[in-house]
A = this chain, B = another copy of it.
Amino acid sequence: MSTHSFCKRAYSFFKAYPSASKLLLLSTCSGGGLLVYSDSSPSRRTLTADGQEIKKKKVVVLGSGWSGYSFLSHFNNPNYDVQVVSPRNFFLFTPLLPSVTNGTVEARSIVEPIRGLMRKKGFEYTEAECVKIDPSNKKIHCKSKDSTSLKGTTEFDMDYDILVIAVGAKPNTFNTPGVEEHAHFLKEADDALKIRRSVINCFERASLPDLTEEERKKIIHFVVVGGGPTGVEFSAELHDFLVEDVAKIYPKVQEFTRITLLEAGDHILNMFDKRITAFAEEKFQRDGIDLKTKSMVVGVTADEISTKERGSGEVVSEPYGMVVWSTGIGSRPVIKDFMHQIGQGQRRVLATDEWLRVEGCDSVYALGDTATINQRRVMEDIAAIFGKADKGETGTLNKKEFKGVVKDICQRYPQVELYLKKKKLRNIANLLKSANGDNTELSIETFKQALSEVDTQMKNLPATAQVASQQGKYLAKCFNKMEKCEKKPEGPLRFRGEGRHRFQPFRYRHFGSFAPLGGEQTAAELPGDWVSIGHSSQWLWYSVYASKLVSWRTRSLVVSDWVRRFIFGRDSSSI
């Protein structure tokens, strides 16, 4: 029993001094844990001064991914009842999913059970999938899931006062025939485990007796569709696995293996800096990964994958053993249906305003990959802005009048800041100066002209974990200060209405991105145009990811997985 109590004591110690355990990590550069949640357990009842119980508003959160989990872990307002509905009773640390496909990291090491957070926060959780949102009755319709298929499912309804949709997206096959049936996706923990089994299965099948060389080559031809970070990382991990482990375990068939990476665009990793793209393409070429850009997949059968070359229009078919589809995301059916109900049926993705409120629907918020922010154009509001600023109603703005709105403009329209940054201007005054010269009075025409190009800087946020997680945190903080901001709004002026917006609109802060390229090399793009490629970024990657993992449990598991891989290699058992 002494070891037992030692462990308990060690645990209490690390709980009391989290900084001590941080020293255990390799060289944690980023401060501990993006989503570490507070330990406070809010009481579930709120009483007024005279002891009456207040009817709390019920917030229903759909989903336990990046945005949902982030929202829940930052939510801290005892005046709301929080109810979570998700078919997954855990949070999945998706950036490490490609590592699971080859056994570099175990699936269980990158999941955090949601029940732990629920208990600490005093929230309710139901393992079910929302299959229909009924905004007119403020109800959702849910179906329990059954993972064992030995028992049926149960259906039930749930009321809400406020609904937070954080269900994420589903893979998009662009209606390419055969993809659903024959390709693997890489979005959920189960997908990664299936791919892992499938890779090993391909090698075992290729090792069967009585096969021709042709057949062996086909069986261990791995095709990855999509040159985004996931596709690239998966190809790199697979290549490492082939070089480091397969060569030893399957020496007879190793020579027949081939990895093909298909990308419809001109380059892989096209959201990254050009230097990174060039480095990655060159490294893949050197590694023998067959990189085919400008190739669009037009069909997949049980044995062949067909691509169309963008230049020539030629259609080529190739035999394959396994296809992984990691390109594009689409709306889930429940969201499509919801969009039809609220008049967004024509849109591709659910739209919210800058406060993450679903457009055309009260009391419903949407976070993460589920939705995009429909940014408001400055030009649409330009007359209203001018009118609001022109307090003296002179038809022109003097310096003081202009200064009165400049902060609100910047806050309300994030594209302004991006435009200034691009033009290398310090602030909006300089922008107007360049349009108006030394004139102290500003006419509406000059005002318009100066801001005319600002809207070109509007762009949708990428569908990344970073965006989703920041949105969850932002919305939780809004809820936390709801009562305070109702009395004293903190947002910018309402140019088209009265008073101020209650909250600041959501603004995304990019902290950089990583693209692991295999062979202990990673490309990193950090704020301030800082690009780093190589072994050092790999260690940065290890450190950042270790520190971003949501709990000490997952952190210690992932680090021990990495250590284990260094020592023993990857496991080839087909479990």
Q: Which of A6-14, A284-292, A368-376 contacts B (4 or more CB under 8 A)?
A: A6-14
Are the C-beta atoms of B573 and A113 separated by less than 8 Å?
yes
* A557-B564, A568-B553, A572-B89 known; A147-B208 Cβ under 8 A: no
Copies in the complex: 2
Which one of B148, B190, B207 contacts A201 once the chains associate, using CB atoms below 8 Å? B148
Q: Which residue of chain B has the shortest Cβ distance to A199 in the bound complex?
A: B148
Quick check: is A251 within 8 A (CB to CB) of the other chain?
yes
Residues on B with C-beta less than 8 A from A112 are: 573
| B residues near A107, Cβ cutoff 8 Å | 575
- Cβ of A308 to closest chain B Cβ, rounded Å: 24
Q: Which of B119, B125, B566 contacts A3 (CB 8 A)?
A: B566
Q: Are A573 and B208 in contact (CB under 8 A)?
A: no
Contact indicator A148/B8 (Cβ below 8 Å) = no
Give the shortest distance, in Å, between A53 (CB) and chain B (any CB). 21
A490 to chain B, nearest CB (A): 36
Within 8 Å of chain B (Cβ to Cβ): is A150? yes
Asked if A144 CB lies within 8 Å of chain B CBs, one says yes
Task: State whether B574 touches A119 (Cβ < 8 A).
Answer: no
Question: A543-575 CB contact bits vs B (8 Å, 1 = yes)?
Answer: 000000000110011001001101110011111
Of the listed residues A190, A572, A575, the one surrounded by the most CB atoms of chain B closer than 10 A to its CB is A575
Interchain CB contact under 8 A, B556 and A8: no
Determine whether the beta carbon of A26 is less than 8 Å from that of B3: yes
CA distance A205 to B115 in the complex (A): 14
Is A151 a contact of B205 with CB atoms below 8 Å?
yes
Pick the contact of A197: B144, B147, B553, B573 (CB < 8 A): B147
Say yes or no: is A154 at the interface (Cβ < 8 Å to chain B): yes
* Residue in chain B with minimal CB distance to A322: B150
Q: A26-B3, A148-B201, A573-B90 are in contact. Are A154 and B119 (CB under 8 A)?
A: no
Any chain B CB within 8 A of the CB of A106? Answer: yes
- What string of 1s and 0s marks CB contacts (under 8 Å) between A93-134 and chain B? 000000000000011100111011001000001111000000
A318 to B38, CA, bound (A): 44
Asked if A126 and B208 sit within 8 Å, CB to CB, the answer is: yes
Of all chain B residues, which has the CB nearest A302?
A: B151
Residues in chain B near residue A90, CB distance under 8 A: 572-575
Q: Which residues of B contact A148 (CB under 8 A)?
A: 194, 197-198, 201
Query: Do residues B573 and A146 form an inter-chain contact, with CB atoms below 8 A?
Result: no
Tell me the smallest distance from the CB of A323 to a CB of chain B, in Å.
Answer: 9
Q: Which chain A residues (1-34) contact chain B, with CB distance < 8 Å?
A: 1, 3-4, 7-8, 10-11, 26
A182 interfacial by beta-carbon distance below 8 Å:
yes
Among B116, B144, B556, the residue within 8 A (CB) of A204 is B144
A60 to chain B, nearest CB (A): 12
A266 to B559, CA, bound (A): 49
User: At the interface, yes or no: A44 with Cβ under 8 Å from chain B?
Assistant: no
A-B contact pairs, 10 of them (CB 8 A): A7-B563, A10-B567, A90-B574, A90-B575, A111-B571, A119-B249, A127-B207, A150-B322, A553-B567, A553-B568
